[in-house]
Amino acid sequence: MRFYKKCLYCQEELVGRTDKKFCDPQCKSAYQYKQAKEQPERFYDRVNNQLKLNRKILKEYNKGGKTTVRSSIIINEGFNPKFFTHYWKNKKGDVYLFVFEYGFLKIQEHKVKKYVLIKWQTYMENQNLS
């Protein structure tokens, strides 16, 4: 007795083992990709994607190691200051938030909101985080 089953992705008739679900690895991969896309985005993925975007934006605007940029510019690019990986407090008491090796500090100059952007330095590792 022969069972006729169809590929879960392309609906072609399957030949071979009785428990076979896909006609080839490409159909299996495409089916799994389609299933994953239909699932709601996981919390981990949302956070990870925002961290990646924040890092990319900070890197793009901080080519020299330290710079100041209007907050509206990077916010419009998709930067979200609520997503960061760690912080560093300098001797003056300013707390820089970091997205991996790129840090930012929110300031206000002449009634304009800005961010001071810096890059992580080795001397920062030796100071206590408090």
Domain span including residue 48? 43-126
pLDDT, tens digit, 9 for 90 and up, residues 5-45: 899 999 999 988 888 999 999 999 999 999 988 888 889 98
Which pLDDT score is estimated for 2?
A: 60
CA distance 111 to 15: 72
pTM for the full predicted model:
0.70
Tell whether the model's pLDDT for residue 49 goes beyond 80: yes
Residue 1 lies in a domain: no
Which pLDDT score is estimated for 4?
A: 76
Which pLDDT score is estimated for 130?
A: 46
Residue 103 lies in a domain: yes
CA distance 33 to 19: 21
Burial class (CB in 10 A: 0-12, 13-18, 19+), 124: middle
Report how many domains make up the chain: 1
Question: Do residues 27 and 13 lie in contact, with contact meaning Cβ atoms separated by under 8 Å?
Answer: no
Residue 31 lies in a domain: no
Structure token digits, residue 125: 């590792």
Residue 33 lies in a domain: no
